[in-house]
C-alpha cells in the first residue's frame, strides 16, 4: 500500500537544528552529511494518547547508533526530548502522530566523505506528522533477491540513513505488486522485510528470526516481552521462508505499521491450521500498551 498525502500536514512546523520552521522553510544544507553520504541516524516514533511511546528506548538506540558512527557534539537526550516536546506542542499533536527523528553528522566545510570535514555539530530534525499506521490490516510479501546487510558489511543494528539496501528490496516488492519484501540473510534465512521485523506462529508458538542481520526493532522487542509476560511460547532462531509459507499466522512489527497480519508470501496463502488466534491476542496486548505507556507530554 502506498501512503497518501494528508492535507492535515499542510501547515505543520518542523524542528531543524535549533528552531521550528514551516514545511517550505524546513531544509538542510547541500553540505549536510545526510545529503553527501546518507551519513545520519534516525528513529520512527509514535505519539498515542498524550504520550511519546517508548521514547527512552528510541533515544537509547539513536545515541548508540550515533556513537557507533562516532558523531561529535551529539545533542543530549534531554535536548532531543525538549525539541520533540516543542514540535509536538507547536503542532497540537497529542495522539495519532508519527515522528521521523533524524540526526545527521551535520554540515561539512566542503563536499567530501571525511567526517573531519564536519565542524559544526550534528543537525537534528524532528518531523512530526499526522499519520495513521502505514499498512492496511493485512499485507502481502514477496521474497527479495537482495540480501539484508549484516555485520560483515554494514551492521543492521546501526539505525542509519543509508537505506539503499532496503530500498532495492522495496522496489522488487513494488514491481511484483506486493506490500513489502522479505530480505534473507547471507545464509538464506529470513532476516526481516525491507522496513519491518517479521514473526511466524506455528502450533501456538511465536517464532522470530534471530537479530543477527536485522534491525532489532523496538516493536519486535515489545512483542517478545508481551509473549513472555503472558505465557505465550516464544523462540528466536534461524527460520527459512518455507517455515513462513506453512505457518498458521505470519505478522510484521514496526512503529510505522504496528502489528500487521501477512496474508500471502510469494503467492502462497498463509492458512491457519491450528484454529488458535495468537496474533489477535498479541495485538490486543500491544494496543493496550500504546494507550498506557510512554513519556507523558507536558502540555
Ligand atoms: C529495516 C527496519 N526493520 C524494522 C524496523 C522496525 O523497528 P521499530 O519496531 O523500532 O520501529 C524498522 C524501523 O525503523 C526498520 O527500518
How many whole angstroms from 232 Cα to the centroid of ligand 1? 23
pLDDT at 1: 78
Both 66 and 182 in one domain: the answer is: no
Domain count, the chain: 2
Q: Which grid cell sits at 181? A: 519484501
Query: Residues 14, 23: contact at Cβ < 8 Å?
Result: yes
Bridge partner list, 32: 107
Take residue 15 and report the three cell numbers written for it.
524542528
- Domain of 189, CATH number, reads 3.20.10.10
Are 126 and 85 contacting, i.e. CB atoms less than 8 angstroms apart? no
If you count them, how many residues does the chain have? 299
133-184 pLDDT tens trace: 999 999 999 999 999 999 999 999 999 999 999 999 999 999 999 999 999 9
Last residue within a domain, chosen from 89, 113, 130: 130
Boundaries of domain holding 207: 138-292
φ and ψ of 146, to 5 deg? -90, 125
Same domain membership, residue 22 and residue 109: yes
Give the separation between CA 214 and CA 151, rounded to whole angstroms. Answer: 10
Report the percentage of the chain scoring pLDDT > 90. Answer: 98
Confidence at residue 83, expressed as pLDDT on a 0 to 100 scale: 98
The pLDDT of residue 17: 96
- pTM for this predicted structure: 0.97
Q: What is the CATH number of the domain that holds 64?
A: 3.30.470.10
User: Which atom of ligand 1 is nearest the CA belonging to 215?
Assistant: 3
Residues (pLDDT < 70) of the chain are none
Residues touching ligand 1 (Cβ under 6 Å) are 44, 166, 192, 195-197, 215, 217-220, 253-255
Give Cα 142 distance to the centre of its chain.
19
- Domain identity same for 221 and 124: no
Q: How far is Cα 171 from Cα 33, in angstroms, rounded to an integer? A: 25
Per-residue pLDDT, 275: 86
So what's the pLDDT on residue 62?
A: 98
Amino acid at each position: 500500500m502506498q501512503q497518501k498525502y494528508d492535507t492535515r500536514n499542510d501547515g505543520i512546523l518542523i524542528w531543524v537544528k535549533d528552531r521550528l520552521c514551516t514545511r517550505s522553510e524546513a531544509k538542510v544544507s547541500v553540505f549536510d552529511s545526510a545529503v553527501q553520504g546518507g551519513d545520519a541516524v534516525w528513529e520512527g516514533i509514535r505519539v498515542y494518547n498524550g504520550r511519546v511511546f517508548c521514547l527512552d528506548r528510541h533515544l537509547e538506540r539513536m545515541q548508540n547508533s550515533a556513537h557507533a558512527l562516532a558523531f561529535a557534539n551529539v545533542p543530549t537526550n534531554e535536548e532531543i526530548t525538549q525539541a520533540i516536546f516543542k514540535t509536538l506542542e507547536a503542532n497540537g499533536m497529542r495522539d495519532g502522530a508519527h515522528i521521523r527523528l533524524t540526526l545527521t553528522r551535520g554540515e561539512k566545510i566542503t563536499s567530501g566523505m571525511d567526517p573531519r570535514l564536519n565542524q559544526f555539530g550534528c543537525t537534528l530534525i524532528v518531523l512530526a506528522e499526522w499519520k495513521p499506521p502505514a499498512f492496511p490490516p493485512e499485507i502481502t510479501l514477496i521474497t527479495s533477491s537482495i540480501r539484508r546487510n549484516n555485520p560483515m558489511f554494514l551492521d543492521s543494528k546501526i539505525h542509519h540513513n543509508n537505506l539503499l539496501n532496503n530500498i532495492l528490496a522495496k522496489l522488487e516488492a513494488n514491481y511484483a505488486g506486493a506490500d513489502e519484501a522479505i530480505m534473507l540473510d547471507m545464509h538464506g534465512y529470513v532476516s526481516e522485510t525491507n522496513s519491518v521485523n517479521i514473526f511466524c506462529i506455528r502450533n501456538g508458538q511465536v517464532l522470530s528470526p534471530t537479530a543477527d542481520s536485522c534491525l532489532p526493532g523496538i516493536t519486535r522487542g515489545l512483542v517478545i516481552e508481551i509473549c513472555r509476560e503472558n505465557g505465550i511460547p516464544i523462540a528466536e532462531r534461524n527460520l527459512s521462508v518455507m517455515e513462513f509459507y506453512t505457518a498458521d499466522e505470519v505478522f510484521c512489527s514496526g512503529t510505522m505499521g504496528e502489528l500487521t497480519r501477512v496474508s500471502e508470501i510469494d503467492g502462497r496463502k498463509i492458512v491457519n491450521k491450528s484454529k488458535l488466534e495468537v496474533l489477535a491476542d498479541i495485538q490486543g496486548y500491544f494496543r493496550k500498551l500504546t494507550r498506557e505507556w510512554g513519556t507523558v507530554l507536558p502540555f
